[in-house]
Amino acid sequence: MINRDTIERIPTEKLHDPDMLASIEREVLALTDEDDRSDLCYSLATRFITEGNLERAEFFTRLMETWPIERTWFLGDIAVKLWRSGQTEHALQLLNEAISTARTNGSEWQRAEALSKLATHLIELRQSAQAISLLREAVPIAQLGEEQGALQDSLDSASVIQELAEKLALAGEYEEAQDVANSIKHAVRQGRAARAVQIIIDSNLSAG
């Protein structure tokens, strides 16, 4: 039976064998527990992305039906590789799908973090305007999570707010980045975020 360990041990050449691929697919589709299937597909998508088999990676990503946030991670990773291989239209389709999924699934900090990850992919692809727009969209989501979530969710949201502030600073949105960092309610985390943002700003200004 296929599991995480056996997936890691499959020789690279076997991952291109049609019979092996068909066997893996049959075993995955035979699983009746959706979380077990998603867990297995997570490992398979990871392996296929590493091996550059993006078609199979996308196939197993889409079977992660009960893990929508993780699905956005993989769609973003696949989109970047497709874009770099010249398949920009398909890449944009996957990114837009991932953004839509991230907006409607998970807790506030998970949604904001997923949007942040996708913004990073957009920056990698030199789509800076859309990336900054996505970071701005994620900020109030994370802020809501910090204000209204349970303790751990609130702390996780504060961490995501710092991440968003740092990315805005890296994108040159200095004043906005400082405002976002200073919006954190937890005093210790606010100070940490403000210092991190200032370091980025000082570094950028000295380099420029």
Question: Domain for residue 155, yes or no?
Answer: no
8 Å CB contact between 111 and 102: yes
Across the range 56-70, mean pLDDT stands at 95
CATH number at residue 50: 1.25.40
8 Å CB contact between 81 and 54: yes
Question: Domain for residue 33, yes or no?
Answer: yes
DSSP 10-37: S-GGGGG-HHHHHHHHHHHHH---HHHH
Q: How confident is the model over 132-151, as pLDDT tens digits?
A: 999 999 999 999 999 998 99
Question: Domain for residue 146, yes or no?
Answer: no
Report how far residue 100's alpha carbon sits from residue 103's, in angstroms, rounded to the nearest whole number: 5
Across the range 65-83, mean pLDDT stands at 96
Question: Domain for residue 96, yes or no?
Answer: yes
Question: Domain for residue 5, yes or no?
Answer: yes
Report how far residue 163's alpha carbon sits from residue 171's, in angstroms, rounded to the nearest whole number: 12
Report how far residue 105's alpha carbon sits from residue 124's, in angstroms, rounded to the nearest whole number: 24
Indicate the angle between helix axes 68-84 and 34-51, nearest 10 degrees.
20
Across the range 180-197, mean pLDDT stands at 97
Number of domains, the chain: 1
Question: Domain for residue 127, yes or no?
Answer: no
Binned at pLDDT 50, 70 and 90, residue 205 comes out as: very high
Domain ranges, residue 89:
1-105
